[in-house]
């Protein structure tokens, strides 16, 4: 297995792709082929999560030994996850919620960012790299904390996280600015996630700045889902959830299902697309957006247009107008034509929009997309809790609302997995608002107790004492000042 850049960069190994994070021309790395699931599902149902993860990653990381992959997997998925299943599948009514938030930071990003540090360390050792790796990450809320948690005090690395100061929940912000670790640096920016992501990409592509750091024995890598080492572990839990349904006799072997994913940067649903390409029987990939519905328009019209009002919503991890991972999908549906991808990315950069051709539109038939307003999101949270006593966060509610729309329009009764991407306790103000809990005179930390009492659900350990933690990172900067923050932290 080798990896190619979506814009034409030469082929490299998985180790090199994980270390580099992003191609030198700004493209993203993709596998040169999709390996197939070659063990019958009826046999795979006996694999636990870690065994399945080793099986899948061996197919993509072919320059890693099996022992190296096992080292990464078994260190990542240990008792830091509070559920033995790692990613439990919970049946609510007729739907199945894939709870991806039982890791240390209460968000689905833990599923990949728990293993990425081990993959990166192993890759560096394999390639004899002595430079210190600087993980540079922009976050809309959850990636930042999960990356900080994963890389804190990891020898040979430093991690710098930029987040929109006014674009994350109070709980998300507190998780990041209280992060311990001598190698960690957290900076709030005056701007939105797209501003932070754009600035980080520009730094990756700044050859002069990278050369200065190289002379100081530093090299950049990424913990965002633009890094193939972030994306590949996410493929595993879709296959795992299918096997669980099969084991519980909810489906027959080979029966197709739908998968619904609340989508921002497009990495999580792209992982489901990769699982489908490997042979997982997925009927529809349902892409759910909030009111920043640029992806919804793309799938319905074939037009990607970020020239619109940026909206701050109750599902902040999806408040994104430039979905970086979509570039990988463009590469796959264009017949792996780098020239088409380069042209579309140039138009996005220069004009803020692009239109795909008819052949590419036809390749999107596996997808359905819709969006939910905040009002609709709140109603879903309230309705599901009142009817099923199941508590969900705002992002999961967006996904469920879009799934209901899909079901009504398409009259499709196939079994469906809904990716539940964060704990409701990460967004207590909005969840309380949805449930009609009085929250006017309380801060977000006080609302944790109120929500716990109302729903009869314990506050997760990961944030139960969060308001008492010491603030360690008090850094703020303009979106044009990221480079100076990096220089200050690295002392270059």
Nearest to 326 by CA among 291, 302, 359, 290: 302
What is the C-alpha to C-alpha distance for residues 343 and 271, in angstroms, rounded to an integer?
A: 24
| pLDDT (0 to 100) of residue 438 | 80
Contact 32, 6 (CB under 8 A): no
Q: Which CATH architecture has domain 89-107+229-455?
A: 3-Layer(aba) Sandwich (3.40)
| pLDDT (0 to 100) of residue 224 | 83
| pLDDT (0 to 100) of residue 37 | 98
Identified catalytic residue from 20, 59, 109, 401: 109
| pLDDT (0 to 100) of residue 140 | 82
| pLDDT (0 to 100) of residue 174 | 94
Q: pLDDT tens digits, residue range 122-165?
A: 999 999 999 999 999 999 878 899 999 999 999 899 999 999 99
Map tokens 């044009």 to a residue.
480
Alpha-carbon radius of gyration of the chain = 21
What is the value of pTM for the model shown?
0.94
Q: Where are the domains of the chain?
A: 89-107+229-455
Map tokens 């992003």 to a residue.
22
| pLDDT (0 to 100) of residue 118 | 95
| pLDDT (0 to 100) of residue 440 | 77
Q: Please provide the average confidence, as pLDDT, over all residues in the chain.
A: 95
Q: Residue 419 pairs with which residues in a beta bridge?
A: 98
- The DSSP secondary structure of 20-36, one letter per residue, reads H-S-TTS--EEESS---
Q: Which two tokens stand for residue 461?
A: 């350990």
Has residue 439 got a pLDDT over 80?
Answer: no
Has residue 229 got a pLDDT over 90?
Answer: yes
Q: Enter the DSSP assignment of 106.
A: S
Q: pLDDT tens digits, residue range 376-431?
A: 999 999 999 999 999 999 999 999 999 999 999 999 999 999 999 999 999 999 99
pLDDT interval class at 167 (50, 70, 90): confident
Q: pLDDT tens digits, residue range 36-85?
A: 999 999 999 999 999 999 999 999 999 999 999 999 999 999 999 999 99
| pLDDT (0 to 100) of residue 480 | 92
pLDDT interval class at 441 (50, 70, 90): confident
Active site residue 109: yes
């Amino acid at each position: 297995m080798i990896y190619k850049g979506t814009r034409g960069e030469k082929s490299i190994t998985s180790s090199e792709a994980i270390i580099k994070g992003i191609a030198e021309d700004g493209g993203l790395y993709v596998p040169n082929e999709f390996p197939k699931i070659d063990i019958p599902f009826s046999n795979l149902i006996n694999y636990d999560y870690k065994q399945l993860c080793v099986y899948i990653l061996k197919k993509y990381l072919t320059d890693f030994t099996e022992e190296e992959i096992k080292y990464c997997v078994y260190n990542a998925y240990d008792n830091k996850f509070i559920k033995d299943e790692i990613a439990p599948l919970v049946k609510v009514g007729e739907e199945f919620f894939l709870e991806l938030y039982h890791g240390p930071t209460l968000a689905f990003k833990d599923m990949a960012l728990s293993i990425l540090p081990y993959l990166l360390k192993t890759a560096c050792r394999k390639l004899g790299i002595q430079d210190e790796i600087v993980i540079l990450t922009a976050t809309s809320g959850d990636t930042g904390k999960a990356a900080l948690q994963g890389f804190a005090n990891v020898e040979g690395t430093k991690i710098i996280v930029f987040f929109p100061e006014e674009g994350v929940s109070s709980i998300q912000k507190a998780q990041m600015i209280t992060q311990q670790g001598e190698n960690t640096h957290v900076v709030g920016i005056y701007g939105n996630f797209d501003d932070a992501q754009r600035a980080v990409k520009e730094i990756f592509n700044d050859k002069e700045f990278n050369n200065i750091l190289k002379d100081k024995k530093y090299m950049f890598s990424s913990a965002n889902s633009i890094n193939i080492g972030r994306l590949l572990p996410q493929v595993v839990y879709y296959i795992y959830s299918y096997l669980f349904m099969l084991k519980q006799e909810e489906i027959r072997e080979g029966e197709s299902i739908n998968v619904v994913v609340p989508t921002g940067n497009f990495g999580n649903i792209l992982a489901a697309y990769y699982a489908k390409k490997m042979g997982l029987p997925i009927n529809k990939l349902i892409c759910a957006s909030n009111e920043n519905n640029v992806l919804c328009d793309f799938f319905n019209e074939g037009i990607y247009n970020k020239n619109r009002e940026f909206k701050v919503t109750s599902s902040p991890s999806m408040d994104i107008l430039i979905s970086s991972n979509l570039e990988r999908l463009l590469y796959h549906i264009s017949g792996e034509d780098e020239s088409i991808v380069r042209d579309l990315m140039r138009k996005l950069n220069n004009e803020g929009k692009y239109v795909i051709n008819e052949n590419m539109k036809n390749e999107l038939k596996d997808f359905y997309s819709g969006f939910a307003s905040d009002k609709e999101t709140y109603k879903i949270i309230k309705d599901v809790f009142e009817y099923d006593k199941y508590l969900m966060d705002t992002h999961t509610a967006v996904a469920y609302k879009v799934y209901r729309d899909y079901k009504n329009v398409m009259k499709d009764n196939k079994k469906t997995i809904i990716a539940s991407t964060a704990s409701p306790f990460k967004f207590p103000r909005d969840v309380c608002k949805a449930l009609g809990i009085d929250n006017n005179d309380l801060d977000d930390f006080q609302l944790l107790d109120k929500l716990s009492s109302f729903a009869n659900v314990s506050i997760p350990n990961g944030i139960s004492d969060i308001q008492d933690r010491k603030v360690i990172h008090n850094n703020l900067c303009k979106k044009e000042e990221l480079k100076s923050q990096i220089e200050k932290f690295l002392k270059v």
